[in-house]
Amino acid sequence: MPKNTPSRIIDNKQTRAVAFLGGSGSSGGVVDHGVLSGLGDNDHPQYVLTTVAIGAGDGLTGGGAIGTAGTSLAVGAGNMITVAADTVSVANGSAAYQFIGTGSGTTSGWHNVSEIAGDGLTHTTALNVGVAGLGLSVGTDAVTLTSSSNPGAAASILASDSAGALALTKVRTPLIDTASGNLVIQPAGDLVLDPLGNDVFPQTNYDINLGALNLKYLTLHAAELWVETLVAQNTIATIGGRILVGPTTSLTRDMAAGDTTIYVKHNQMVSGDRTYMEANGKVEFFAITSAATNTGTDFSYTVTRNLDGTGANQWYAGDAMFNTGTTGNGFIDLYSLRGVKSGSEAGPTIVGNVRLSSTYNDWAPRWAIGNLNGTYGYGVTTYGFAAGDATAANVTVDATNGVRLRQGTTDTIVLAPNGASYFAGVMTIDTNGEIRQGTGTLGSNYTGLRIWRDTGIGRIGGYNNNTLQWAAHGRQVLFCGQGKGWPDR
């Protein structure tokens, strides 16, 4: 009987006629089961016959009759599963397969772990997200996209801040537009344009306005102004200060106060020229001391600086340099307040000047229109016209003094404002000169008065139908009338 089956006493109290077998003769029980009969029948559930076979089900191997020697059941080994005497183990990754997957449909299939590392995944000892994109990072349980509204010079995924703003070091795009409305550019500092092509163009020719009558730009600073037409219709156009008309160029490079070489845009100066610069309250005269050197992009000259004694100044690329030339060259000075030479030249005036020597400011007017104060000997505001050499022969016209022919500042002939006229000095008659008042033609039918020069002597006479009626000259007086006359010595 099995080890843990409770003992059963077979006695004669059963109704069946079973003989009682005693073991020792004293206890009355059966000690030797070998003498029992009927045990071969399979009608005792508390007994297992040795002929009963045990089959190996799913996952097991072995089996057979219980009474057969060596009958046993074992766990069946398989992919990723190993079996030992006392253990069942899962493979540690060194076996042929590392991962149990599925094939197509319901068919089982086996795959390496590395096989399922598709796009965006990597495999070493584990499956990992392959982070290669800008702004991406991974944690234990998360993939994170990091963005910035102000990345500075670093590359970053952009996202606007809570105010909808982006702060970028540079934007590279061929077009900026709006869905509707105006585009406002409003930097905290200045708007600086620095195109590599050095030009700012409208999209099409003859298009785009800068400013408007009710939206004017405050100030325009420019080294040069190239325009086809200046229009001031229905608008007051003013130019203050001074305009110099003459050979002009502009600096192409900054010039420090100690520099003795200048770089300019044009090759129009020669050694010996005297040039002039004025800007932002600064004035400086230069002597050009060399011919031009072509650098390929501009022209250089050596100079002597500070001829005016007010000190050498800092000048900047784009500042204008005006050439007053050498002795005999001229230029026009148009000024509203004062002339370029002296504060005593009060405007508004237009003056044509001629350089007299190499001294930096030695030039003199040869004509002036407007306020003549400070020119041609005028010392007060007087509007008019003057021409000629102010130290020699000249003519002036103004409402105060009339028309005057002068030698320096001395009047010789005056047409006074009141209509009178007079000779302020001696007038002589040249070889072929004379004064004549009459009718007809001299030598034919002239009748009238003549004052003329005869063999170096002044003569006066009266004519009637081209016949001399009377005459006088030198110390001799000749009277004639009705065929009679007499001399008076």
Report the top-level CATH class of 240-326: mainly beta
Rounded Cα distance between 460 and 457, Å, is: 10
Sequence spans of domains, the chain: 240-326, 434-488
Contacts for 3 with CB less than 8 Å, ≥ 6 apart: none
Residue 365: asked if its preceding bond is cis (omega within 30°), the reply is: no
Predicted pLDDT at 205: 83
Strand order in the sheet with 393-398: 242-245, 330-335, 349-355, 363-371, 383-388, 393-398, 402-407, 410-415, 421-423
Phi, psi of 270 (to 5 degrees): -130, 160
Q: Going residue by residue through the chain (489 aa), what tens digit of pLDDT does each one get?
A: 455 555 554 444 444 444 444 444 455 555 566 666 666 666 666 677 777 788 777 778 887 887 777 778 888 887 778 888 888 877 655 555 555 555 565 555 666 767 777 887 888 777 788 777 778 888 887 888 888 888 888 888 888 888 888 888 888 888 888 999 999 998 889 999 999 998 999 988 878 988 887 788 888 888 888 877 666 666 666 666 788 899 999 999 999 999 999 999 999 999 999 999 988 889 999 999 999 999 999 999 999 999 999 999 999 998 899 999 999 999 999 998 888 887 789 989 999 999 999 999 999 999 999 999 999 999 999 999 999 999 999 999 999 999 999 999 999 999 999 988 888 878 888 888 899 999 999 999 999 999 998 888 888 999 999 999 988 876 566 666 544 555 554
Nearest CA-CA partner of 461 in 438, 445, 484: 438
Predicted pLDDT at 15: 44
Predicted pLDDT at 45: 67
Rg over alpha carbons for the chain, rounded to the nearest Å, is 64
Predicted pLDDT at 485: 57
The residue type at 38: G
| Token pair belonging to 60 | 């097991």
Predicted pLDDT at 96: 55
Predicted pLDDT at 301: 98
Predicted pLDDT at 4: 52
| Token pair belonging to 245 | 């008309």
Predicted pLDDT at 21: 44
Predicted pLDDT at 483: 45
